[in-house]
Structure 1
Amino acid sequence: MTADPETKLRADARRNRDQIIAAAKEMFAAQGPDVPMEEIARRAGVGVGTLYRRFPDREALIRAVAQHNFALVLEEARAAAREEPSAWQALVRLLRQSRELRLSVQLALVSPLAWTILRNDAKTQEFRDAILDVLDGIVRTAQQDGTLRTDIGTGDVAVLVSLLLRRIPFAPDEDLLLDRALTLILDGLSARQGSPLPGAPTSAFDLMRAKHSRKEAPPGCA
């Protein structure tokens, strides 16, 4: 049987969109968000006209890339909370898989245009808040289980993640350094007796309140 023409058209449009987003993610990561749109189209294997039909300007493409990244992180966070046998293992899995956020965070840090887009996009903020909500549940459960230190809050964990997502200049092996840093962070988060922390725990609410009251600086992932 021959596929319905309208169904095939929709499938082609979806495939083109996915190819463009994948190419944009790769090129943004390598060259930054100012890479020419024509080069992105070429990398995606589509015509420039097709790219502009899907994304009428650079802002729309940056927004789509960020939303795609945050959606993947939210999906992974929910999967970790649902599938892992303990909250601590869910937290470890989530932190180890958090690098999908790195491109969006780095875009916001190095590009004023990207920072403005991500700050003002309601869907991106919705994804961020949903990720924080899932993380909050994991943190609270791990603390109740006795595996995560109790003198921290979800905001503290989110801030640590945001530090991992920043680019390390001149690193000989960035992935290895990040793996080492993550191992140190997990050791510091465990419920074993450690050094006392100054101040009070930072909650997810503290981060969201600060995010809405301070609009002048890039947000990291928190």
Structure 2
Amino acid sequence: MQTAPPRLRADAVRNRERIIAAARETMVEFGAEAPFDEIARRAGVGNATLYRHFTDRRDLIHHVTLSVMSRIADRAECALVEESDAFEALRRFVHDAVEERIGALCPLLSDGVDPAHPDLLAARERLDAAVAAVMGAARDSGQLRTDIAVGDLMVALTQLTRPLPGSGCMDFDRFVHRHLQLFLDGLQTPARSELPGSAVTLEDLRRR
């Protein structure tokens, strides 16, 4: 019979959460190869504490990925429940997803996580369903154009929220919400142009 892992003390839980949050921010800037020293510095912990919680980079990336997916799904579910207008729920979710560093998700998913891990499969299924529900409600209300799918939205959000390489474009975050608003305007009906190709699903994105 397998025994459950021991529960962490409250201070250890806080340290773990700070490390994951710092890693999420750092990996948005530097990618999956973000320096552990920088992650520890931003989390306000020593390197030894970081390694006590996460044995290696793959382990840390796995938990950061789960955190990002869970928090984005939370935001989608809350927006759908709390907003009376379906397109406003989509608009709120898009802006909220930026705050949860959705730009880190695609690079992390392609850098060392096990796509068949049960925790990752469950998190992905929940996220897929939550985003599809927000988009479906907006589409059913007649406000969202019909020629896009969840994959289109996720690719656009990732592209629009990844900082530009190098240091030539400082304060990138202050432009993001402005550009997202332009993007959202383009999602509304009536569509002003015909999109090339076909709507992209999340399954399309996973094919390699």
TM-score range, shorter chain: 0.7 to 0.9
Q: CA shift at 1:96, angstroms?
A: 0.9
Q: CA shift at 1:139, angstroms?
A: 1.8
The 1:192–1:89 alpha-carbon spacing in structure 2 relative to 1, beyond 3 Å, is same
Measured in 2, the distance between the counterparts of 1:143 and 1:39 equals 43
Partner of 1:24: 23
Asked if residue 94 in structure 1 is aligned to residue 93 in structure 2, the reply is: yes
SS in 2 for 1:117: coil
Q: CA shift at 1:153, angstroms?
A: 2.8
The 1:74–1:16 alpha-carbon spacing in structure 2 relative to 1, beyond 3 Å, is same
Asked if residue 131 in structure 1 is aligned to residue 127 in structure 2, the reply is: yes
Q: Give aligned pairs, total.
A: 199
Q: CA shift at 1:83, angstroms?
A: 0.7
Partner of 1:187: 185
Structure 2 unaligned spans of 5+: 1-5
Q: State the AA in 1 paired with 2:23.
A: A
The 1:128–1:164 alpha-carbon spacing in structure 2 relative to 1, beyond 3 Å, is farther
Q: CA shift at 1:82, angstroms?
A: 0.9
The 1:31–1:208 alpha-carbon spacing in structure 2 relative to 1, beyond 3 Å, is closer
Query: Which one is further off, 24-33 or 145-154?
Result: 24-33
Alignment of 1:148-187 (within 5 A): 148-169=144-165, 170-187=168-185
Partner of 2:142: 146
Measured in 2, the distance between the counterparts of 1:164 and 1:32 equals 15
The 1:160–1:11 alpha-carbon spacing in structure 2 relative to 1, beyond 3 Å, is same
Alignment of 1:7-156 (within 5 A): 10-99=9-98, 100=100, 101-107=102-108, 115-117=111-113, 119=115, 121-156=117-152
Q: State the AA in 2 paired with 1:53.
A: R
Q: State the AA in 2 paired with 1:81.
A: L
RMSD: 2.9
Measured in 1, the distance between the counterparts of 2:34 and 2:150 equals 36
Q: CA shift at 1:58, angstroms?
A: 1.8
SS in 1 for 2:147: coil
SS in 2 for 1:116: coil
Q: Which has the higher helix share?
A: 1
Measured in 2, the distance between the counterparts of 1:25 and 1:128 equals 17
Q: State the AA in 2 paired with 1:149.
A: R
Measured in 2, the distance between the counterparts of 1:37 and 1:175 equals 23
TM-score, L = length of structure 2? 0.78
Q: CA shift at 1:73, angstroms?
A: 0.7
Structure 1 unaligned spans of 5+: 1-5, 109-113, 215-222
Q: Which has the larger radius of gyration?
A: 1
Query: Which one is further off, 151-160 or 79-88?
Result: 151-160
Q: CA shift at 1:59, angstroms?
A: 1.4
